[in-house]
Amino acid sequence: MLYLDHAATSPVRPEVLDAMRPFLTGVFGNPSSHHTVGEAAAGALEDARARVARVLGMRAGDVVFTAGGTEANNLAVKGIVLGSDRRHLVVSPIEHESILESADYLRRFHGVEVTALAVDGAGRISPDALAAALRDDTALVSLGHANNEIGTVQDVTALVAVAVARGVPLHVDAVQSAGWLPLGGLGADAVSIAGHKIGAPKGVGALAVRGRVPLEPLLHGGGQERGRRSGTENVAGAVALATALELSESERAAVAGQVGAATRRFIDAVLAGVDRAALTGDPAHRLPGTASFTFAGTSGEAVLLELERRGVVSSSGSACAAGSDEPSHVLLACGVPPEVAQTSVRFTFGREPLPDDAPERLAALVAEAVRAVGG
């Protein structure tokens, strides 16, 4: 089986399992307990916090450990807006559901006005459009670094510069870009990551938010995470996240180059071998391991089934929308007609090396699958 759905989740790395195992067994204490067992756990937690902060270019005290990327995005959007006296939020229509649903919650229950920036056909956001959307009462801009469906990468540096010039905090959802793109120099006020995209287990993530930005907690109770996220911390998960993030960062330049080259070969072979194939997302500004296509006149789900019969596991888009027969909101926002959007198939490569001929062999299997469903 060839697993090509790493944007949904990746396997836990052996080094990560080794790093977290002591904190599931011998060093099992509650980090809030004031005895030697608890203090050992607290020390590991703070070490993990500092390690995550270094990769993100933030201070250790900025890092809040969460139960994953969805919680991190919810905390960023709801927490920063509710911590402000401003009531205007800027997002884009191609964001992850955790951002869009948080924005809708704020609109419905807190009277927050939400502006959705237009994107071009490749899913890119114009800095000029962001500048035009900002107002004196804008509390936050929340945008994805790289899209989870089409792989388009935003010019975050330019977007941050626009927000900084107006004194508006900008949150970057870096769940998909972590391990593939540099995160340390983004300059954003808040950054979300998730462990299971980079080789840590599911159920752990982090939001790094600069100390100057007021943050209203979503979870109240014991005041853990400096009062910003109550609940007994997942020490083993935090260690796992820090380890996976450091490993992926140390390998990033080499792996991104290798995977990017293989993905480009695969894209070229699919476009050459399948008449109805169309690449979605920006052809140049995209994640190294993401290739997303529409196959007009077919059914994306049927193509997926044919691929799995041939030993290839991929997806039709965001795993968070699994089971939905609605066309992708990302593709619709990019101007793709609904009937074509429903034919989308996403291939997302991992960091492990593939055989030299894998891109072309995989493209041939895609062509077979599309022909099998009548495309």
Catalytic residue flag (residue 320): yes
Give yes or no for a contact between 124 and 152, defined as CB atoms under 8 angstroms apart.
yes
Contact 349, 4 (CB under 8 A): yes
Out of 254, 320, 324, 335, pick the active-site residue: 320
92 touches 151 (CB < 8 A): no
End-to-end CA distance of the chain: 24
β-strands 113-116, 312-313 pairing: unpaired
Cβ atoms of 168 and 141 closer than 8 Å: yes
Kindly report the number of other CB atoms within 10 A of residue 267's CB atom. Answer: 21
Exposed, middle or buried: residue 338 (CB in 10 Å: 0-12, 13-18, 19+)?
exposed
Q: Find the angle CA(145)-CA(251)-CA(69) to the nearest 5 degrees.
A: 35
Burial of residue 26, with CB atoms counted within 10 A of its CB: 0-12 exposed, 13-18 middle, 19 or more buried: exposed
Q: What is the 3-state composition of the chain as percent helix, strand, coil, each rounded to the nearest 5?
A: 45, 15, 40
Positions annotated as catalytic residues are 320
